[in-house]
Structure 1
Amino acid sequence: MVVAPNHATVILILQLLIALQVLIFSPAGADYIPPAKTDGFVYLNRRSFNFDSILIEAFYDPLCPDSRDSWPPLKQALHDYGSGVSLVVHLLPLPYHDNAYVASRALHVVNALNSSATFPLLELLFKDQEKFYGAQTRNLSRASIQEEFVKSATEVIGSSFYTSVKNGFNDSKTDHQTRISFKYAASRGVYGTPFFYVNGFLLPDVGDSIDYKTWKKIIDPLVGAEKNVKNEESLHFFL
């Protein structure tokens, strides 16, 4: 008789697999951890964090349907709360999503060329997910799949960047950056997508999409608490 593994066992197995991949993909000798730059893409290209704002960290796989479905309500919340909420997106290319690593690397390539095109490309990859996995790519070579990502990237960043994007895939730096993203996610205990951290704390129901009403329930009390802290600080100042 075969006994189905419980949820905790499945999570443990996934964590062990991720840890094994981190060991396998670590370069011999010099490792790139810690990196020279903090991992992640900052939404709206804010140059610095406002430490009074609420920080959301989203761990996404660009070819994950749940990541795709979670983005619109999160994006709406970000725009509604304005500078009161900041977002950093980290990438975790999952091994069971075809071509997720190449998709993640495409985002690093574009981000290095023009950071304002990073999130538009992420949205395009979300929109065209089915084009990049499953039966659509089963008989395609790795080179031809990569070329499709180059075309998608230049659709966003501009056709004049075609050669630069293509060369980006031959640059070892973008490969290392994509590996660092994977390792960073593993170091935070992330084993699926989407995962969300708010002010450094993991939200429950990981791996599921969060709708706009739920984001409001999460953020509204934090905004209220922040206002109370500021009011108390102002009162102490005048006293």
Structure 2
Amino acid sequence: MGRSSRILSFFLFLIFSAIKCEAQIPAEQDGFWFGKKAAESVYVEAFFDPLCPDSRDSWPPLKKAVQYYGSRVTLVVHTFPLPYHDNAFASSRALHIANKLNATATYNLLEAFFDHQELFYGASTLNMSRASVVDQIVKFVTMELGASFLSAIESGFTDSETDHATRFAFKYGCLRGVYGTPFFFINGFPVPDAGSPLDYESWRKIIDPLVTKKIKMGV
């Protein structure tokens, strides 16, 4: 079976699993908004695994590009914990917990995970129980949000709402055809070279024409 066939088979498996596992619709739209929503802007969606090195490497140039365009570009990040990355689901859940407690801290926490990925996979957690890993993540999140949030963060990992939010985010990615990270959409259409980081110049080449077109249209 060729690479494209394997990817398609995996993609179809994820879609059918997402549909069959839980036929529910979440009450809120998935994702973490970066800054303010701008209705008439170029809409960028990023699917990240907080413990994925390629997600980590893709974030700085994307952030720089979004900040360059200001209100002309709106970004939302979705978590997509890859099953072959140790503790990806727990770290993704931590982001949903943080977003629920203090949405302004979500991206700081995402960047903290990117900066310290080595603490949560591979040899660092090989001999640790799931409970021990979660406890380590709780302490890590508390350092970012503040000591006053400790009990709320601990409760977040036993709260079915944050569990469901993390699952919905993954299922949402599956239904969109996401099969790896990073994975990007612009105005609803997938960006080529999924799974590979894009540098700042590449983002400019993609977004510049879209922004220019909107300016010409008077948007």
Q: By the TM > 0.5 criterion, same fold?
A: yes
Q: CA deviation at 1:23?
A: 5.7
Quote the offset at 1:20 in angstroms: 5.6
- Structure 2 equivalent of residue 15 of structure 1: 11
Q: Is 1:135 the counterpart of 2:123 in the alignment?
A: yes
User: 2:200 is matched with which residue?
Assistant: 212
Instruction: Provide the secondary structure at the position in 2 that maps to 1:88.
Output: strand
Q: Which runs of 4+ in 1 moved over 3 A?
A: none
2:85 counterpart residue number: 97
> Secondary structure of the residue that 2:45 maps to in structure 1?
strand
2:44 aligned with 1:56: yes
Deviation at 1:73, TM superposition (A): 0.2
Question: What are the Cα deviations for residues 164-210 of structure 1, in whole angstroms up to 9, with x where unaligned?
Answer: 10011010100000110011001101111111000111111111000
Contact 2:18 2:175 in 1 (8 A): no
Greater radius of gyration (CA): 1
Using the TM superposition, give the Cα deviation of residue 17 of structure 1 relative to its aligned residue in structure 2, in angstroms.
4.0
Whether 1:110 aligns to 2:98 is yes
Q: Paired residue for 2:184?
A: 196
The unaligned stretches of length 5 or more in structure 1 are 234-239
1: distance between equivalents of 2:75 and 2:97?
20
Instruction: State the percentage of identical aligned residues.
Output: 52
1:14 is aligned with what amino acid? Answer: F
Over aligned residues, Cα RMSD in angstroms? 1.4
Quote the residue 1:165 is aligned against: 153
Equivalent positions of 1:66-85 (< 5 A) are 66-85=54-73
TM-score, with structure 1 as normaliser: 0.88
**Aligned counterpart, 1:183:** 171
Kindly indicate whether residue 65 of structure 2 is the aligned counterpart of residue 87 of structure 1. no
Q: Distance in 2 between matches of 1:21 and 1:101?
A: 17
Residue type matched to 2:41 in 1?
S
Matched, 1:227 2:178: no
Per-residue deviation, 1:140: 0.1
Aligned letter for 1:209? P
* Counterpart amino acid of residue 38 in structure 1: Q
- Alpha-carbon distance, 1:10 to partner: 2.2
Q: Aligned-pair distance for 1:9? A: 1.8
Count of aligned residue pairs for this structure pair: 219
Partner of 2:30: 39
From the superposition, tell whether residues 23 and 137 of structure 1 become closer, same or farther in structure 2 (CA, over 3 Å).
Answer: farther
Paired AA for residue 13 in structure 1: S
Counterpart CA distance in 2 for 1:219 and 1:20 is 33
Q: What SS class does the counterpart of residue 190 from structure 1 fall into?
A: coil
Structure 2 unpaired stretches of 5+ = none
In structure 1, what is the Cα distance between the partners aligned to 2:198 and 2:141?
A: 27
Give distance in 2, aligned partners of 1:188 and 1:124. 27
Q: Aligned equivalents of 1:99 and 1:20: distance in 2?
A: 24
d(CA) in 1 for partners of 2:13, 2:213: 40
- Structure 1 134/20 Cα, relative in aligned 2: closer, same or farther at 3 Å? farther
Q: Residue 134 of structure 2 corresponds to which residue in structure 1?
A: 146
| 3-state DSSP of counterpart to 1:110 | helix
Deviation of residue 21 (structure 1)?
Answer: 4.5
Q: Tell me, what secondary structure is at the counterpart of 1:173?
A: helix
The one-letter amino acid of 1:50's match is A
